[in-house]
Amino acid sequence: MNLSSYLAGKKTLNEYVHQISQRGATFQVHYWGVMPRHYDNQLHKHSFFEVCYVVAGEGVYIDNNCSYLLQENTLFLSKPEVPHQIKSEKGLSLLYVAFELIESDSTECWIEMMEKAKTSSHVYLHDKEEMEIALLWKTLLIHATRQDNEWLEKYLSNMAFLLIESILQYFVPSFPKNDSKPEYEMSSELLTEAQLYINDNLANSLKLTDVARHLHISGRHLSRLFVSELGLSFSKYVQNERIKKAIYLLKKSNLSIKEISDETGFINVHYFTRVFSLTMQTSPGRFRSLFIAKNTTTFSDR
């Protein structure tokens, strides 16, 4: 299959899907990759996980002095701080993604599972038929090529989390499978309703007690829902959603910084600028200027 058609999807994922939080885990995604033709690279290592899927071609993967045959429908994992290298004379068609768990925003269960992933001996998997995970990966890239809208980031983030979770199930033997009861539950209907209410009313103050009253539950109950099912406090979730909405408006609208501050529910433009700068490591005005100047963020291919 020609992967060139997925390059636009890769660009969108690199633009929108940097940090994803669900089910008690928060992952930092460093980059998404689509490589229509990959040859040799140097022996190197990362401080994070990188997973590659071979769509077509042949080569060799060297991991910690062990060699593995690369061919169509091969999935392989590069673990943090482990030297690795890819060799291919004729070239490989690859999908790849790099990520790591943000432990400060994740539950102990997830931290423990990711530690197991670091020490797992499973780094290579081959199947004669196309893996289900490849179909999910390609579907994500296809959806990322569609015309963007305000909900695109949330949709892609949900699908990206499912992809990373599915990848980990291949390489961590004790990782909870889809057909077993996990230690964390799917988001409840109440939590989903709370999230929808928050997203639809970001311009308002959105106090915990007010949202809880809207759902006819106690503030303590609502607070527990966010911590137990998302691994985030209510206030942290609201702030994250405000920043995401601000990023979208800075990129896609002509609203002033003051108008965006009002639209996303910050008490004033100075507080908005401070929170945005701490979160994104740049001010709202500079963020918009850089985006306009570059039109889109450019990510090099491996």
> What pLDDT score was predicted for residue 148?
57
- By the 10 Å C-beta count (0-12 exposed, 13-18 middle, 19+ buried), 167 is classed as buried
pLDDT reading at 201 higher than 60: yes
Can you give the pLDDT at residue 31? 95
- The per-residue DSSP string of 36-91 comes to EEE-----B--SSEEEEEEEEE-EEEEETTEEEEE-TTEEEEEPTT--EEEE-SS-
Percent of the chain past pLDDT 90, that is, above it, reads: 50
Taking residues 285-296, report their average pLDDT: 79
DSSP 121-140: S--EEE-SSPPHHHHHHHHH
Residue 297 has pLDDT above 50, yes or no: no
Range 87-99 average pLDDT: 94
The predicted pLDDT at position 191 comes to 84
Q: Which fold does the domain 189-294 belong to in CATH?
A: Arc Repressor Mutant, subunit A (1.10.10)
Where is pLDDT greater, at 166 or 146? 166
How many helices, marked H, and strands, marked E, lie in the chain?
Answer: 11, 9
- Selected residue with higher pLDDT from 234 and 231: 234
Pick the CATH number of 3-171 from 3.40.190.10, 3.40.20.10, 2.60.120.10, 3.40.640.10: 2.60.120.10
The residues spanned by each domain of the chain are 3-171, 189-294
17-38 pLDDT, tens digit each: 999 988 888 999 999 999 999 9
